[in-house]
Structure formats: structure tokens, C-alpha cells
Amino acid sequence: MTQADIQTIRLTNGKTANVHTQLFINNEFVPGNGPLIETINPANEEVICKVHSADEQDVNLAVESAYKCYYETWRKVAPAERGRLLNRLADLMERDKDEIAILDAVDNGKAFAVARDVDVTESIGCYRYFAGWADKIHGKTIDTTFDKLCYTRHEALGVVGAVIPWNYPTMMAAWKFAPALATGNTIVMKSSEVTPLSTLKFGELVKEAGFPAGVVNIITGYGHTTGSYLSSHPKISKMAFTGSTFTGRKIMESSASSNLKKLQLELGGKSAQIVCADADLANAAFWACGGIFNNHGQSCNAGSRIFVHESVHDKFLELFIAETKKIVIGDPFNEDTFQGPQINKSQFDKILNYVKIGKEEGAVLAYGGKRWGNKGYYVEPTIFTHCNNSHRIMREEIFGPFVSIGTFKTIEEAIDLANDSDYGLAGGVYTSDLDTSIKVTNEMQAGTVWVNCYDIFDQSTPFGGYKQSGFGKELGKYALHEYTQVKVVKIQRLSKI
């Protein structure tokens, strides 16, 4: 690490922070050969700094570093030692929790308090959870014939390539780093070129924790160049990707045309929340509000479609708008801020264009729909009513604080409306009837369905989608299967009894 790699940036609250700007390869920060990329503070639209990007030569250097480390060092490290290193890493993140949260707040625009108390805190928990699994990944002994010993081994895949999005920089990195390292893989991760700062900080902690050089490599760059080089590299055994369905298809094409690498894809969503006539409407309004407006609506599992029984629509809407009005919008470094700016001008313009589309399609703008303030990419929480499934605002992923509300007459109709989507990442139902909750959760085509709550995660619970929301599971014991392969060993007994 050199002083040339570290830049000091000024925050909107007047304080300063240090950031890494180079690539992290083989436990060292090194310059990249790709173009420098400006990272923008979405709260004030100003350049934070310029970071290095990886070209094909840099990607190859990172992969070769991971490949060499895996075969010469890391696969021979005892599982308990892998767990110790992951716990040490979590300790360092605890120590630097505020610093990591600051980087996500300035780079992503999310509220500092949310970044600290949710994103970073839960990421630390993720590393500790998978540290506990490191020495508990066991095969089985299989009784076949009397003269043979047969058993299975759960082995690491080798070098994992990972590409993470900009909406949860620290957390999405943890969801991939933690299970990959716990199961004995090495990894090359491409951070989003929009939000690289906290991921690069993580490289500093990896080295301090004592991981062997080459176990973790962090690069950044654009998806169509750096991401493409990574996903098509023949020494990558698996690609783990979180992002758009469009890019997920591109990664599948790269896998097919290179070495048929294993894939894990967590893609887009247009998740539905169903509010039944017998629901506790105050509870439903509270959770449904968080379900769409958490993280400024920039969540793949956001409950962006709400279907309300026609008999309680007006009352629910009144309560829902009341909850929405409690949202505090402002500078990410104000402690009471819940909603900061959208990530960039492109997303800002996209969301406001969907306001125009919603009006043109005949939906009713019930709340919001405008820019907030005069500087930064802030959008008011936006609520449309009188929506139906033919409307684009009901079908397309907007990825912002934008919700579309429709009505239904019967629970069967509500389920059909919820399932009438290309996506199947998540969903929710609000009801006081157990039979209804079982019926909806059984029939909703989604990887996660919440009942009388929404957007609740923990490290032991798997997460992943149906349909065009992708395949494979993050978190929990299920994630271990995504990063291992099963080998069968049969030994013939030579001696006779």
C-alpha cells in the first residue's frame, strides 16, 4: 500500500475520509491499466475521486493470482483456520464500522445510520455465520458393498469470479466473499464502478487479517469490459452475479462459450405485496411502506406492486400515505435521514420518466412524483393508484421509491395478478387467516414470501429467485452448495477376510 493509492475526500458534513483508488491484487494495491473512472457523490453531484479500472491484462493477473494461491496454498489450509481468519476479518470490520459506513454513504447516497446499523452490521454477522460453517462441511459414508468403502467429499470449486451491484456495496460483497472463502475457494470480485470505495477498503482489512496473498482480489471497471473479461476467463470455475436480468443473460452466454463455469445469478424483481380484507391494515401499511421505500427503493426484492382487496383499498391507502409521509429525506450524514438520493442521474431520470409514463397510461398519482430539493439525485417517494397489470409501471423494474397499487376481488385473483410477471424474487401477504397465508405462500411464484412483514433477512435464511429473477441461493446452509462440488470416492478392499 502506498500513499499514492490513498486519497483524502471531503464529506458533506465537513469531515474527511481516506479512500483507496487502485486495484487489490495478490494482497497489494496496484494501478490498473484501464481508464480512470470518476465516482460521483449522488447527494451533491460532485466527483468524489477517480479510481483505477482493470483491463484484460489486469483481470488475467488477478485470476492467475487467485489460481496460484488456490492450488499452492489456500486449499491446503485447515478449515478451522479459514474460520479463524473470517472471524478476524469480522473483528476488523467491527473496529472500522463507521469508516465503512461513511464510504457507502458518500459513494452510494444511502443514509449513514442505515449503512452503519444495517448494511455493515449485517455484513459482519454474515462473515461470522460462515466462519462457523468452515469446519462443518462434511461428506457422507455410503454403504454399498461389503468389500468397498464409499464416501463423498465436498470440495471447493477453485477460483470464483464475482460481480456485485451498487445498491448494497458492503452487504453484497459479504454475501459472496463469506461463503466462497469459508468453503475454501479463492475469489476475484469486480465491484460496481459506481460504488467501489467500501469494497476497496475491504481489501485493506483482508491483508491486515492475515489472509494469504491471492485469496481475495478486488478489481473494478465497466461490465461490458472488465466484467466480460472476468466472466469469460477459462480459469474461473464459477461466476456469482447480482444485477440485472439483461447482464445475467450475458454472463450465461460467456459461461457457455468459455468453460461452462458454474453460475449463480440473483437478478431483477417486480415483487408483489397482497393486502387481504382481513389484514391488520396499520401493520400492513407499515411493512409495505418499508418493503418498497427501504434503500430508496433500490432493492431487487422491493415490493413495488401492491394488490389491495377492493373493500379496504381506501383505508389502506390512507394509512400507507401516512406512513410514507414519515420518511425523512435529506443529506445521508444527517442522523435522522432515512432516504438519501438515487444512485446517479441515469436512475434519477429513469424514475421521473416512469412518473410521466404512469400518468400517460391512466394511473393516478396519489403522492410524490417530483424531484426533492435543488441539488442531488433526490426523488420523492411516489405512489400510483388505479394500476393494472397492463401498465408498464406494473411490469417493469423501476428500481426507485416508486410503488404501483391495484385492487382485487378474490384471493385467487390476487395470486394470479402477483404471478403475472416475468420475475419471481420475492413477495408478501398480509392476512389474519392462517389458511389464506398458507394458500398464498404455496402458490406465489417467488423465492421468498413474507407474511405480515416484509424485507426481513438473517444470515441463516437462504435468498434467491424464481423465473427471470435468477437461480441459486445466497445465505444460509444452502449457500454452501453453491460454492462446493461433490466428489465420490470408492475404495476396493484388497485383503480378504
Q: Which residues are catalytic?
A: 266
Contacts with 284 (C-beta within 8 Å, 6 or more apart), sequence order: 275, 316, 319, 430, 452
Q: Hey, what amino acid is at 267? A: L
In order of 139, 390, 407, 480, the CA distances from 302 in angstroms are: 37, 20, 19, 26
The radius of gyration of the chain's CA atoms, rounded to the nearest angstrom, is 24
Q: Whose grid coordinates read 434519477?
A: 348
Q: Could you tell me the strand order of the sheet in which 148-156 lies? A: 141-142, 148-156, 484-492
Nearest CA among 189, 257, 195 for reference residue 227: 189
* Cβ 295 vs Cβ 270: under 8 Å: no
What 3 state SS string does the chain have?
A: CCCCCEEEEECCCCCEEEEECCEEECCEEECCCCCCEEEEECCCCEEEEEECCCCHHHHHHHHHHHHHHHHHCHHHCCHHHHHHHHHHHHHHHHHCHHHHHHHHHHHHCCCHHHHHHHHHHHHHHHHHHHHHHCCCCCCCEECCCCCEEEEEEEEECCEEEEECCCCCHHHHHHHHHHHHHHCCCEEEEEECCCCCHHHHHHHHHHHHHCCCCCCEEEEECCHHHHHHHHHCCCCCCEEEEECCHHHHHHHHHHHHHCCCCEEEEECCCCCEEEECCCCCHHHHHHHHHHHHHHHHHCCCCCCCEEEEECCCHHHHHHHHHHHHHCCCECCCCCCCCCECCCCCHHHHHHHHHHHHHHHHCCCEEEECCCECCCCCCCECCEEEECCCCCCHHHHCCCCCCEEEEEEECCHHHHHHHHHCCCEECEEEEECCCHHHHHHHHHHCCCCEEEECCCCCCCCCCCECCEECCEECCECHHHHHHHCEEEEEEEEECCCCC
Q: Whose grid coordinates read 473470517?
A: 86
